[in-house]
């Protein structure tokens, strides 16, 4: 499965007809947040493939279209926050937002709030492990995990609960944004246990092989 992953910054060639030739073979789009909805809608309409996204801390709670309609996310996109879904043979889940640094703002969470969101995902991930042979393939987040690709300041601090989720459920990938990368030498890919943590800023095209999983014998079938 080829995935176009985007985050935090509009990339000019992606927001142009060039996307049709340079990203013609991608199967799915993952949005890691802090992007205008018109940009994500452009990618959906040009590539005609599904978009799964989470909100970033700078996302507008509401945007207004030229026709006067109010929208709360990119039209045609699937909000992955707090959900576990399947696409192209991959189990995907999402967790929106950053650490809370202001009193107001829907897409900011305290550590405790993010722990609760992670715990709420756990039963679905356990069911996947039992019935699908693994808990999760790809976790889409805006914020990085604590201590991996995160910044020194509070606003860009990662979440400890993401480390726990990776410890327990071993997703193959955690893709995130939020931390902007300005130096080519900066590390953006880190292996944490069984999980490749990948800072997407501002975009990456990932080729993720679909793996075959053998279910426990009691389940009786191989997928
Ligand atoms: Zn952010």
Q: What is the mean pLDDT of residues 15-42?
A: 96
Asked if residues 22 and 1 have their Cβ atoms less than 8 Å apart, the reply is: no
Q: Is residue 204 part of a domain?
A: yes
Q: Please give the residue that has the higher pLDDT: either 65 or 200.
A: 200
Q: Is residue 118 part of a domain?
A: yes
Q: Is residue 46 part of a domain?
A: yes
Backbone angles phi, psi at 78, to 5 degrees: -115, 115
Q: What is the mean pLDDT of residues 67-80?
A: 92
pLDDT tens digits for range 103-154: 888 899 999 999 999 999 999 999 999 999 999 999 999 999 999 998 889 9
- What residues does the ion ligand 1 have nearby, CB within 5 Å? 34, 56-57, 178
Pick from 24, 25, 85: which is nearest to 52 by CA? 85
pTM for the model stands at 0.93
User: What is the structure's pLDDT at 29?
Assistant: 98
pLDDT tens digits for range 77-87: 999 999 999 99
Q: Is residue 223 part of a domain?
A: no
Q: What is the mean pLDDT of residues 10-34?
A: 97
With a CB cutoff of 8 Å and minimum separation 6, the contacts of 91 are: 84, 85, 128, 132, 134, 135, 136, 137, 138
User: What is the structure's pLDDT at 68?
Assistant: 85
CATH classification of the domain holding 105: 3.60.21.10
Separation of 145 CA from ligand 1 center, angstroms? 13
- Strand, helix or coil at 79? strand
Secondary-structure breakdown of the chain: helix, strand, coil percentages, each rounded to the nearest 5: 25, 25, 50
Confidence of residue 34 (pLDDT cuts 50, 70, 90): very high
pLDDT tens digits for range 187-221: 999 999 999 999 999 999 999 998 777 666 655 44
With a CB cutoff of 8 Å and minimum separation 6, the contacts of 84 are: 91, 92, 93, 121, 124, 125, 128, 136
Separation of 137 CA from ligand 1 center, angstroms? 23
Separation of 191 CA from ligand 1 center, angstroms? 22
With a CB cutoff of 8 Å and minimum separation 6, the contacts of 174 are: 138, 139, 141, 145, 162, 166, 192, 195, 196, 197, 198
User: What is the structure's pLDDT at 156?
Assistant: 92
Domain count, the chain: 1
Average pLDDT of the chain, as a whole number: 93
Confidence of residue 222 (pLDDT cuts 50, 70, 90): very low
Separation of 149 CA from ligand 1 center, angstroms? 13
Separation of 91 CA from ligand 1 center, angstroms? 24
Cis peptide before 3 (omega within 30 of 0): no
Q: What is the mean pLDDT of residues 56-79?
A: 90
Pick from 223, 174, 170: which is nearest to 200 by CA? 174
Q: Is residue 192 part of a domain?
A: yes
The domain containing residue 114 runs over which residues? 2-210
Tokens in use for 134?
């693994």
Partner residues linked to 95 by β-bridges: 141
Distances (CA, A) of 180 to 9, 17, 76, 202: 9, 25, 27, 8
How many CB atoms neighbour CB 89 within 10 A? 14
Q: Is residue 50 part of a domain?
A: yes
Confidence of residue 164 (pLDDT cuts 50, 70, 90): very high
Q: Is residue 217 part of a domain?
A: no
Portion of the chain with pLDDT greater than 70, in percent: 96
């Amino acid at each position: 499965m080829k995935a176009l992953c985007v985050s935090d910054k509009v990339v000019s060639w992606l927001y142009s007809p060039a996307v049709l030739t340079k990203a013609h073979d991608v199967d799915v789009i993952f949005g890691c947040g802090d992007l205008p909805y018109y940009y994500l809608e452009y990618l959906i309409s040009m590539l005609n493939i599904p978009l799964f996204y989470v909100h970033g801390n700078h996302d507008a709670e509401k945007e207004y279209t030229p026709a006067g309609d109010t929208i709360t996310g990119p039209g045609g996109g699937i909000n992955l926050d707090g959900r576990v879904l399947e696409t192209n043979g991959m189990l995907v889940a999402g967790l929106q937002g950053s650490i809370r640094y202001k009193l107001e703002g829907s897409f900011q969470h305290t550590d405790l709030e993010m722990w609760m969101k992670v715990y709420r995902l756990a039963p679905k991930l356990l069911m996947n492990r039992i019935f699908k042979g693994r808990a999760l393939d790809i976790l889409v987040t805006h914020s990085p995990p604590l201590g991996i690709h995160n910044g020194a300041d509070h606003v860009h601090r990662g979440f400890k609960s993401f480390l726990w989720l990776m410890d327990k459920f071993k997703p193959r990938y955690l893709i995130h944004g939020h931390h902007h990368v300005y130096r080519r030498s900066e590390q953006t890919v880190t292996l944490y246990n069984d999980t490749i943590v990948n800072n997407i800023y501002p975009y990456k095209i990932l080729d993720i092989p679909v793996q075959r999983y053998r279910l426990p014998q009691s389940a009786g079938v191989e997928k």
